[in-house]
Amino acid sequence: MSYLVDYHMHTTFSDGKDHYPAYLEVARRKDLAEIGFSDHITLAPVDWCVNEIDYPVMKENLKSLCNDFSEDVQVRFGIEVDYFPEKEEELRQLIAYFPCDYVIGSVHFIGDWNFDTDRSFYGKWSNDELYRMYFELVQKAAKSGLFDIIGHLDLIKKFQCWPESDQTPLFEETIKVIKEANVVIELNTSGFDRPCIDFYPNKKILEIAARYGVPITLGSDAHQADQVGRHFDKALELLKSLGFNQIVRFRNRVRSEIKI
Ligand SMILES: [Zn+2]
Ligand SMILES: [Zn+2]
Protein backbone atom coordinates (compact mmCIF):
# COMPACT_ATOMS: atom_id res chain seq x y z
CA MET A 1 0.00 0.00 0.00
CA SER A 2 2.98 2.29 -0.50
CA TYR A 3 0.83 4.81 -2.37
CA LEU A 4 -1.67 5.47 0.41
CA VAL A 5 -1.94 8.46 2.72
CA ASP A 6 -3.32 8.84 6.22
CA TYR A 7 -4.13 12.50 6.72
CA HIS A 8 -5.88 12.53 10.07
CA MET A 9 -4.09 11.93 13.37
CA HIS A 10 -3.66 13.53 16.77
CA THR A 11 -0.55 13.61 18.94
CA THR A 12 0.25 14.69 22.49
CA PHE A 13 0.09 18.29 21.22
CA SER A 14 -3.71 17.88 21.36
CA ASP A 15 -5.64 14.82 22.60
CA GLY A 16 -3.49 12.03 21.16
CA LYS A 17 -1.51 9.59 23.32
CA ASP A 18 1.71 9.33 21.31
CA HIS A 19 4.20 11.66 19.67
CA TYR A 20 5.38 12.01 16.06
CA PRO A 21 8.03 9.23 15.95
CA ALA A 22 5.63 6.53 17.15
CA TYR A 23 3.10 7.35 14.39
CA LEU A 24 5.85 7.41 11.80
CA GLU A 25 7.03 3.99 12.91
CA VAL A 26 3.58 2.45 12.39
CA ALA A 27 3.21 4.23 9.04
CA ARG A 28 6.52 2.74 7.96
CA ARG A 29 5.42 -0.71 9.07
CA LYS A 30 2.12 -0.34 7.19
CA ASP A 31 3.99 0.89 4.14
CA LEU A 32 2.08 4.18 3.81
CA ALA A 33 3.45 6.77 1.38
CA GLU A 34 2.50 9.85 3.39
CA ILE A 35 1.04 10.75 6.72
CA GLY A 36 -0.34 14.07 7.84
CA PHE A 37 -0.56 15.20 11.43
CA SER A 38 -3.72 17.16 12.12
CA ASP A 39 -3.84 18.16 15.75
CA HIS A 40 -6.90 20.05 16.98
CA ILE A 41 -6.77 23.81 16.62
CA THR A 42 -9.87 25.49 17.98
CA LEU A 43 -11.22 28.84 19.11
CA ALA A 44 -13.36 27.08 21.73
CA PRO A 45 -12.23 26.83 25.37
CA VAL A 46 -11.68 23.05 25.51
CA ASP A 47 -8.93 20.80 26.84
CA TRP A 48 -8.58 18.55 23.77
CA CYS A 49 -6.85 21.08 21.53
CA VAL A 50 -3.31 22.41 21.10
CA ASN A 51 -2.63 25.13 23.69
CA GLU A 52 -1.93 28.47 22.07
CA ILE A 53 1.36 28.60 23.96
CA ASP A 54 2.46 25.44 22.10
CA TYR A 55 1.68 26.76 18.59
CA PRO A 56 5.27 27.92 17.86
CA VAL A 57 6.92 24.69 18.98
CA MET A 58 4.38 22.53 17.14
CA LYS A 59 4.91 24.62 14.03
CA GLU A 60 8.71 24.24 14.18
CA ASN A 61 8.70 20.52 15.02
CA LEU A 62 6.21 19.59 12.35
CA LYS A 63 7.75 21.82 9.72
CA SER A 64 11.14 20.18 10.19
CA LEU A 65 9.57 16.69 9.94
CA CYS A 66 7.91 17.75 6.68
CA ASN A 67 11.27 18.89 5.33
CA ASP A 68 13.02 15.64 6.18
CA PHE A 69 13.20 13.73 2.91
CA SER A 70 15.48 11.03 4.30
CA GLU A 71 12.38 9.18 5.48
CA ASP A 72 10.57 6.71 3.27
CA VAL A 73 7.27 7.99 4.70
CA GLN A 74 6.71 11.65 3.88
CA VAL A 75 5.05 13.90 6.45
CA ARG A 76 2.49 16.58 5.72
CA PHE A 77 1.51 19.56 7.84
CA GLY A 78 -2.18 19.40 8.63
CA ILE A 79 -4.47 20.88 11.26
CA GLU A 80 -8.04 20.01 12.19
CA VAL A 81 -9.95 23.20 12.85
CA ASP A 82 -13.42 23.60 14.35
CA TYR A 83 -15.84 25.54 12.24
CA PHE A 84 -17.83 28.34 13.88
CA PRO A 85 -20.06 30.22 11.42
CA GLU A 86 -19.84 33.50 13.33
CA LYS A 87 -16.03 33.43 13.55
CA GLU A 88 -14.89 33.01 9.96
CA GLU A 89 -12.53 35.99 9.99
CA GLU A 90 -10.86 34.88 13.22
CA LEU A 91 -10.52 31.39 11.78
CA ARG A 92 -8.92 32.75 8.63
CA GLN A 93 -6.27 34.55 10.68
CA LEU A 94 -5.67 31.51 12.88
CA ILE A 95 -5.21 29.17 9.91
CA ALA A 96 -2.84 31.64 8.20
CA TYR A 97 -0.39 31.26 11.09
CA PHE A 98 0.33 27.62 10.21
CA PRO A 99 2.34 26.58 7.10
CA CYS A 100 -0.25 23.96 6.21
CA ASP A 101 -0.26 21.38 3.47
CA TYR A 102 -3.98 21.01 4.13
CA VAL A 103 -6.64 22.13 6.59
CA ILE A 104 -9.40 19.80 7.77
CA GLY A 105 -12.58 21.66 8.67
CA SER A 106 -14.70 19.84 11.22
CA VAL A 107 -18.02 20.46 12.89
CA HIS A 108 -17.79 19.24 16.50
CA PHE A 109 -20.12 21.92 17.86
CA ILE A 110 -23.76 22.80 17.34
CA GLY A 111 -23.88 26.24 18.97
CA ASP A 112 -21.89 25.77 22.19
CA TRP A 113 -22.67 22.07 22.41
CA ASN A 114 -19.67 19.83 21.75
CA PHE A 115 -21.85 16.96 20.60
CA ASP A 116 -19.08 14.44 19.98
CA THR A 117 -17.82 14.50 23.58
CA ASP A 118 -20.96 15.50 25.51
CA ARG A 119 -23.88 13.10 25.20
CA SER A 120 -26.21 14.97 27.55
CA PHE A 121 -28.13 17.00 24.95
CA TYR A 122 -29.17 14.19 22.65
CA GLY A 123 -32.94 13.85 22.83
CA LYS A 124 -33.49 17.60 23.26
CA TRP A 125 -34.28 17.73 19.53
CA SER A 126 -35.49 15.03 17.19
CA ASN A 127 -32.63 13.29 15.43
CA ASP A 128 -33.94 14.62 12.11
CA GLU A 129 -33.67 18.15 13.51
CA LEU A 130 -30.13 17.45 14.69
CA TYR A 131 -29.20 16.16 11.24
CA ARG A 132 -30.57 19.34 9.65
CA MET A 133 -28.67 21.60 12.09
CA TYR A 134 -25.46 19.62 11.76
CA PHE A 135 -25.42 19.35 7.98
CA GLU A 136 -26.29 23.03 7.59
CA LEU A 137 -23.11 23.80 9.54
CA VAL A 138 -21.15 21.39 7.35
CA GLN A 139 -22.47 23.16 4.26
CA LYS A 140 -21.45 26.54 5.66
CA ALA A 141 -18.01 25.17 6.49
CA ALA A 142 -17.60 23.94 2.90
CA LYS A 143 -18.73 27.29 1.49
CA SER A 144 -16.49 29.32 3.83
CA GLY A 145 -13.40 28.73 1.69
CA LEU A 146 -11.41 28.12 4.87
CA PHE A 147 -10.86 24.40 4.44
CA ASP A 148 -9.39 21.87 2.01
CA ILE A 149 -11.05 18.81 3.52
CA ILE A 150 -14.32 18.33 5.37
CA GLY A 151 -13.66 16.03 8.33
CA HIS A 152 -15.79 12.99 9.25
CA LEU A 153 -18.77 14.18 7.22
CA ASP A 154 -21.58 12.54 9.21
CA LEU A 155 -20.07 12.69 12.72
CA ILE A 156 -23.53 13.40 14.16
CA LYS A 157 -24.24 9.64 14.03
CA LYS A 158 -21.32 8.85 16.40
CA PHE A 159 -23.46 7.79 19.38
CA GLN A 160 -25.96 5.94 17.19
CA CYS A 161 -27.97 9.07 16.52
CA TRP A 162 -29.90 7.66 13.57
CA PRO A 163 -32.36 9.85 11.68
CA GLU A 164 -36.09 9.16 12.03
CA SER A 165 -36.71 9.61 8.31
CA ASP A 166 -34.76 9.13 5.10
CA GLN A 167 -32.09 11.84 4.91
CA THR A 168 -31.03 11.19 1.31
CA PRO A 169 -32.19 14.66 0.14
CA LEU A 170 -30.16 16.36 2.90
CA PHE A 171 -27.11 14.24 2.07
CA GLU A 172 -27.45 15.06 -1.61
CA GLU A 173 -27.89 18.78 -0.93
CA THR A 174 -24.73 18.70 1.21
CA ILE A 175 -22.64 16.84 -1.36
CA LYS A 176 -23.79 19.28 -4.03
CA VAL A 177 -22.59 22.22 -1.90
CA ILE A 178 -19.27 20.46 -1.26
CA LYS A 179 -18.81 19.82 -4.97
CA GLU A 180 -19.58 23.43 -5.87
CA ALA A 181 -17.18 24.64 -3.17
CA ASN A 182 -14.48 22.39 -4.65
CA VAL A 183 -13.69 20.84 -1.29
CA VAL A 184 -12.47 17.31 -0.59
CA ILE A 185 -14.10 14.87 1.82
CA GLU A 186 -12.27 12.26 3.84
CA LEU A 187 -13.15 8.66 4.36
CA ASN A 188 -12.54 8.67 8.11
CA THR A 189 -12.18 5.11 9.34
CA SER A 190 -12.42 5.90 13.08
CA GLY A 191 -16.21 5.60 13.15
CA PHE A 192 -15.82 1.87 12.79
CA ASP A 193 -14.46 1.80 16.36
CA ARG A 194 -17.18 4.10 17.72
CA PRO A 195 -20.72 3.22 18.89
CA CYS A 196 -22.02 3.85 15.33
CA ILE A 197 -19.67 1.10 13.97
CA ASP A 198 -19.53 2.67 10.51
CA PHE A 199 -17.10 4.75 8.51
CA TYR A 200 -17.64 8.52 8.25
CA PRO A 201 -19.38 9.16 5.98
CA ASN A 202 -21.76 6.25 5.46
CA LYS A 203 -22.01 4.27 2.24
CA LYS A 204 -25.05 6.18 1.02
CA ILE A 205 -23.20 9.52 1.23
CA LEU A 206 -20.13 8.00 -0.40
CA GLU A 207 -22.30 6.76 -3.27
CA ILE A 208 -23.66 10.27 -3.79
CA ALA A 209 -20.13 11.73 -3.56
CA ALA A 210 -18.93 9.28 -6.20
CA ARG A 211 -21.83 10.27 -8.47
CA TYR A 212 -21.00 13.98 -8.11
CA GLY A 213 -17.27 13.38 -8.53
CA VAL A 214 -16.31 14.78 -5.12
CA PRO A 215 -12.61 14.03 -4.45
CA ILE A 216 -11.79 11.91 -1.45
CA THR A 217 -8.87 11.33 0.87
CA LEU A 218 -8.19 8.91 3.71
CA GLY A 219 -7.85 9.45 7.45
CA SER A 220 -7.73 7.12 10.44
CA ASP A 221 -8.28 9.86 13.06
CA ALA A 222 -5.64 8.02 15.07
CA HIS A 223 -5.32 9.17 18.68
CA GLN A 224 -2.55 6.64 19.35
CA ALA A 225 0.12 5.23 17.09
CA ASP A 226 -1.34 1.76 16.64
CA GLN A 227 -4.46 3.32 15.06
CA VAL A 228 -2.56 4.70 12.06
CA GLY A 229 -4.05 3.29 8.85
CA ARG A 230 -6.76 1.41 10.73
CA HIS A 231 -9.31 -0.42 8.56
CA PHE A 232 -7.69 0.92 5.38
CA ASP A 233 -8.03 -2.43 3.54
CA LYS A 234 -11.76 -2.33 4.06
CA ALA A 235 -11.93 1.39 3.20
CA LEU A 236 -10.09 0.86 -0.05
CA GLU A 237 -12.31 -2.03 -1.02
CA LEU A 238 -15.39 0.10 -0.34
CA LEU A 239 -14.10 3.05 -2.34
CA LYS A 240 -13.28 0.87 -5.33
CA SER A 241 -16.67 -0.84 -5.17
CA LEU A 242 -18.31 2.58 -5.41
CA GLY A 243 -16.29 3.56 -8.46
CA PHE A 244 -13.64 5.76 -6.88
CA ASN A 245 -10.38 5.18 -8.74
CA GLN A 246 -8.27 7.83 -7.05
CA ILE A 247 -7.68 9.56 -3.74
CA VAL A 248 -6.10 12.97 -3.26
CA ARG A 249 -2.97 14.19 -1.51
CA PHE A 250 -1.93 17.75 -0.63
CA ARG A 251 1.20 19.82 -0.66
CA ASN A 252 1.10 23.52 0.29
CA ARG A 253 -2.67 23.36 0.03
CA VAL A 254 -2.53 22.23 -3.59
CA ARG A 255 -3.99 18.82 -4.31
CA SER A 256 -3.01 16.05 -6.69
CA GLU A 257 -4.39 12.59 -7.37
CA ILE A 258 -3.15 9.12 -6.53
CA LYS A 259 -4.58 6.15 -8.42
CA ILE A 260 -5.99 3.40 -6.23
ZN1 LIG B 1 -12.74 15.58 14.52
ZN1 LIG C 1 -9.65 14.27 14.50
The pLDDT value recorded for residue 69 is 82
Point out the residues of the chain with pLDDT beneath 50: none
Ligand 1 centre distance from Cα of residue 36 (Å): 14
Ligand in closest contact with the CA of 39 = 2
Q: For a pLDDT cut of 70, what percent of the chain falls above it?
A: 100
pTM over 0.95: yes
Any idea which ligand is nearest the CA of 7? 2
Per-residue pLDDT tens over the stretch 169-184? 999 999 999 999 999 9
> What are the pLDDT digits (tens) for 183-201?
999 999 999 999 999 999 9
pLDDT at 1: 58
- What pLDDT sits at residue 70? 81
pLDDT (0 to 100) of residue 30: 95
Whole-number pLDDT of residue 161: 97
Q: What is the pLDDT of residue 71?
A: 78
- Kindly give the distance from the C-alpha atom of residue 215 to the centroid of ligand 2, in angstroms, as a whole number: 19
Task: Using a CB cutoff of 5 Å, list residues around ligand 2, an ion.
Answer: 80, 221
Model pLDDT, residue 23: 97
From ligand 1's centre to the CA of 162, what distance in Å? 19
Helix H, strand E, coil C: the string for the chain is: CCCCEECCECCCCCCCCCCHHHHHHHHHHCCCCEEEEEEEECCCCCCCCCCHHHHHHHHHHHHHHHCCCCCCCEEEEEEEEECCHHHHHHHHHHHHCCCCCEEEEECCEECCEECCCCHHHCCCCCHHHHHHHHHHHHHHHHHCCCCCEECCCCHHHCCCCCCCCCCHHHHHHHHHHHHHCCCEEEEEHHHHHCCCCCCECCHHHHHHHHHHCCCEEEECCECCHHHCCCCHHHHHHHHHHCCCCEEEEEECCEEEEEEC
Give the ligand with the smallest distance to the CA of 116. Answer: 1
Distance 190 CA to ligand 1 centre (A): 10
Domains of the chain: 5-259 (3.20.20.140)
How far, in Å, from the CA of 150 to the mean position of ligand 1? 10
